[in-house]
Amino acid sequence: MKRIACLFTAELSHRLILLRRYALGTAADVLTFYLVFVGVHFSIRSIVGEVGAADLQRLATSQVVGFLAFYFSSMVLSSIGNYLREGVEQGTLEQLFLAPHPFLLVLGARLISTFIIDVLRVVPLFFLLTATTGVRIAFTPAGLLIFFVLLIGVYGFAVLLGGLTLLFKRTGQLPFLFQVLFLGLGFSSLEGASAGIRVVTAVLPFARGVALLKSTTIEPMSIGSVVASAGFLELGLNALGYVLIGVLFFVWSERVAKNRGLLGRY
Amino acid sequence: MEGALFPLEKGVVYHEPMDVLVKNVGDESGSMVELREISKWYARGVLHRRATHAVRGLSLKIRTGEVFGLLGPNGAGKTTTVKMICGLIRPTSGDVRLGADRQTPRQAQRRQLIGAVLEGNRNVYWNLTAWENLLYYARLRGLSRRDVAPRGRALLDLFELSAKRTSLAGTLSRGMQQKLAVCCALIAEPPILLVDEPTLGLDVTSARAIESVLGDLVEKDGRSVLLTTHNMKLAESLCHRIGIIRNGELLRVGTVREFRELFGRPLCHIECAGSLSPETRTRLARQPGTTVEAGDDTVRISVDLSAGHEATACVYAALRTLEEAGARLLSLRREEPSLEDVFVRMTGAGGS
């Protein structure tokens, strides 16, 4: 147990040191995300035109919630690829494989540490978004539950991409592709989408969760009724599927990388 | 005492419980690392019909408290061997055995036995300071700050890095980064240290510092060290035994002295002032095992002494010829073969 605690301390302190050391870069990141939100938010408002105050409130709430979910998912997607790629570039990845833990545990420690840092980073972004849009967002237990299940699916998907990075290394464009897709899904609604698009997005790790999250935030529900809903069941199965596929694919990729001697090569 | 084996991972057999990791003293034959017929080949081509053999049936033992040097030209299979010992590359066949007397069916425990410095300075986080790197690697290996702080300070002192404790690793010189990488590998006090090309790209002073510290580690702490290098002087001064590898095959294992005796050619160098007439040079060169090199204002005659009794006669004959030619003798000395000579002779490659 002490070893695992030390592992988490190693990763968390590493992330905190970098957060402090590169505070300006962190601030620039947050500002960039904020500007992206402002750009998209006001563009959509200008397209929608004059609507009632209640509708505007609903639209803004939906956008803020969608954007925050996108922000976290985006961080998760890029973190694993960056972690592995930087590790190979700096030669530290092989050292991580020499740690007395399964590599997935080391990766898990890094992901949890990154999540904690992302929470710290999102606080100023959250205040900026709510101040700009004037919405008030209540964090309900049901909303938080949906958010965590959504993130679990995204983590599973990111681990799958991590497996690809182990094998092919230069996969930086893949997370970017999905980040753009998630940004679109964070702002848009699938209500008017065709059946085909609905099926495709239902299979993706983000779409179902963010839709459920938006609706739960706009019209609060009890945790019991959320858990009992078909939408949450689908979200849970989706997340579970991605975690299973992600982990299995990563373990397979690790095995192939060791067979082919790819861990130290970029 | 060797027990039943648990080949959980293809080609790798686990042996050692971690609760005795630091004080492990090897098996009854004294070996800490044992490679049994390990091979690695990579399938090539679309249909995997071709294969590149990186290592072929390599067997060796590294004893407790021994520095073993694995020498070979580029692409000989040194790094692949080291990575197979670490578990970073899976052998196609054969066994890697670490530690000693009891079985350890846990891969994690096997990793605790090893500290590795792979590819020189590329083992540390450039955006962390020297001290932060040490703490990170200690924690990664399950040690808390309290456990390692005195050891970390001692290591930084030993490697003369204390003054750079708060400097970012990325701002250190290559030699310092390399030394820091060795510190990080040693922070958890592994009984086996694998060092791949530790002096590659280093200046003379940094290379000597690494050499001196590695020597101390074995002498004082009794660690087993596997060193791969192109630096023959380093291997000659540090290694108790060396193995020469070429095209993935281990050609021979022995001490430096054994290699010299078996494969080296001691030479007798006779140096004369001025120049020699063409007739004299021809007479000298006719002697078996004798070569003549003319410099700007000296002539060097080298006689191969490996032929034993006949070689001594050749030296006397050369001296007589020089005396008859009236040459002024500057020096006469015997030169022992260097490891580099042996290496070049065995592998047909440049050693450094």
User: How many percent of chain A have pLDDT more than 90?
Assistant: 26
| Greatest alpha-carbon span in chain A | 62
- The first and second tokens of residue B98, run together, are 């670490």
Q: How far is B180 from chain A (nearest CA, A)?
A: 13
pLDDT in tens, A119-151: 998 889 989 988 988 888 878 888 899 999 999
| pLDDT at res. A135 | 83
Q: Name the pLDDT band for A9 (thresholds 50, 70, 90).
A: very high
Average pLDDT estimate for A106-120: 91
The Cα of A128 is separated from the nearest Cα of chain B by a number of Å equal to 30
**Of the listed ranges A160-164, A213-217, B44-48, B324-328, the one predicted with least confidence:** B44-48
- Which pLDDT belongs to residue B229? 87
Inspect the interface and report whether the beta carbons of B87 and A97 lie closer than 8 Å.
yes
Q: Give the number of beta-carbon pairs within 8 Å between A and B.
A: 101
- Closest chain B residue to A102, measured at CA: B108
| Whether the predicted pLDDT of B309 surpasses 80 | no
Q: CA–CA distance from B216 to each of B47, B185, B222, B224, B239 (Å)? A: 50, 15, 9, 12, 12
Q: Do B88 and A264 lie within an 8 Å CB cutoff?
A: yes
pLDDT tens digits for B272-283?
988 888 889 888
What local confidence, expressed as pLDDT, does residue A237 receive?
Answer: 92
* Nearest-angstrom CA–CA distance, A210 and A189: 10
Per mean pLDDT, which of A38-47, A143-152, A182-191, B3-12 is the most reliable? A143-152
CATH architecture, domain defined by B12-113+190-261: 3-Layer(aba) Sandwich (3.40)
Q: In which band, very low, low, confident or very high, does the pLDDT at A159 lie, cut at 50, 70 and 90? A: very high
Interface test with A, best of B82, B88, B92, B168 (most A CBs within 10 A): B88
Residues 6+ apart with CB under 8 A from B35: B58, B59, B60, B61, B81, B84, B85, B94, B95, B96, B97
pLDDT confidence band for B132 (50 / 70 / 90): very high
In this structure, what token pair is assigned to residue B332?
Answer: 């006469």
3-state secondary structure chain A: CHHHHHHHHHHHHHHHHHHHHCHHHHHHHHHHHHHHHHHHHHHHHHHHCCCCHHHHHHHHHHHHHHHHHHHHHHHHHHHHHHHHHHHHHHCCHHHHHCCCCCHHHHHHHHHHHHHHHHHHHHHHHHHHHHHHHCCCCCCCHHHHHHHHHHHHHHHHHHHHHHHHHHHHCCCCHHHHHHHHHHHHHHHCCCCCCCHHHHHHHHHCCCHHHHHHHHHHHHCCCCHHHHHCCHHHHHHHHHHHHHHHHHHHHHHHHHHHHHHHCCCCCC
Count how many Cα atoms sit within 13 Å of the Cα of residue B176 in the half-sphere of its side chain: 20
Please tell me the predicted confidence (pLDDT) of residue B83.
Answer: 92
Q: What is the pLDDT of residue B25?
A: 32
Is there a contact between A190 and A223 (Cβ–Cβ < 8 Å)?
no
* Lowest-confidence pick of A232-241, B36-45, B323-332: B36-45
In angstroms, the CA A59 to CA B237 distance is 75
| Residue B144 to residue A10, Cβ atoms within 8 A | no
Q: CB distance from A55 to chain B under 8 Å?
A: no
Q: Where residue B19 falls among pLDDT bands split at 50, 70, 90?
A: very low
Average pLDDT along chain A: 86
CA distance B58 to B135: 36
A80-106 mean pLDDT: 86
Token pair of B2, please? Answer: 């060797």
Please report the ipTM that was assigned to this predicted complex. 0.85
Per CB distance under 8 Å, which residues of B are interface residues toward A?
18, 40, 42, 54, 80, 83, 86-90, 107-109, 111-112, 114, 116, 118-119, 121-128, 132, 135-144, 184
Residue range B211-219: mean pLDDT, rounded: 80
Q: Of the ranges B26-35, B130-139, B194-203, B213-222, which one carries the lowest mean pLDDT score?
A: B26-35
Q: Which CATH class is domain B266-336?
A: alpha beta
Residue B332 has pLDDT above 50, yes or no: yes
Cβ pair B88:A263 closer than 8 A = yes
Find, among B94, B65, B84, B87, the residue nearest to B5 by Cα.
B94
- Domain segments of chain B as ranges: 12-113+190-261, 266-336
Residue B18 pLDDT:
31
The beta-carbon neighbor of B142 closest among A3, A94, A263 is A3
pLDDT of B98 reads 86
- Which range (A54-58, B65-69, B161-165) has the least confidence? A54-58
CA nearest to A14, candidates A81, A90, A112: A112
Å from A154 to nearest chain B CA? 26
CB atoms B141 and A100 under 8 Å = yes
Flag whether pLDDT at B6 surpasses 70.
no
Chain A residues with CB under 8 Å of B82 CB are none
* Length in residues, chain A: 266
Please give the C-alpha separations between residue A108 and each of A217, A248, B89, B108, in angstroms, as whole numbers.
Answer: 29, 14, 23, 16
The average pLDDT across B155-175 equals: 89
Contact between chains at A6 and B111 (C-beta distance less than 8 A)? no
Structure confidence at residue B320 as a pLDDT band (50, 70, 90): very high
B32, B224 contact by CB (below 8 A): yes
CB contact under 8 A, B136 and A14: yes
Instruction: Kindly state the tokens that stand for B20.
Output: 């005795």
Coil, strand or helix at B301: strand
More confident residue, B120 or B63: B63
pLDDT band of B14, cuts 50, 70, 90: very low
Rg (CA), chain A: 19
Give the pLDDT score at B136.
Answer: 94
Residue A224 has pLDDT above 60, yes or no: yes
Q: How far apart are CA B286 and CA B300, in angstroms?
A: 15
The beta-carbon neighbor of A91 closest among B40, B118, B135 is B118
| Rounded mean pLDDT, A46-55 | 74
C-alpha of B198 from chain center: 9
Q: Which residues of B touch A97 (CB under 8 A)?
A: 86-88
pLDDT at B324 over 70: yes
- Other CB atoms closer than 10 Å to residue A177's CB: what's the count? 11
Closest residue, chain B, to A5 (C-alpha): B142
Total-model pTM = 0.80
Would you place residue A266 in the very low, low, confident or very high pLDDT band (cuts 50, 70, 90)? low
pLDDT confidence of residue B29: 58
CA distance B142 to chain A (A): 4
With a cut of 60, say whether residue B174 has pLDDT above it: yes
Q: Round to whole Å and give the CA distance between A241 and A157.
A: 9
Task: Give the residue from chain B lying closest to A17, CA to CA.
Answer: B128
A-chain CB neighbours of B119 within 8 Å are 91, 264
Q: How far is CA B207 from the centre of its chain?
A: 13
- For B210-237, give one letter per residue: b (16+ CB within 10 A) or e: bbebbeebbeeebbbbbbbbbbbbbbbb
Report pLDDT for B347: 77
- What's at B223, amino acid-wise? R
pLDDT-based confidence at residue A245 (cuts at 50, 70, 90): very high
Shortest Cα–Cα distance, B29 to chain A (Å): 26
Give every CB contact of residue A172 below 8 A, 6+ residues apart in sequence.
A81, A85
> Over 80: is that where the pLDDT of B94 sits?
yes
Name A186's Cβ contacts closer than 8 Å, sequence gap at least 6.
Answer: A63, A66, A67, A69, A70, A206, A210
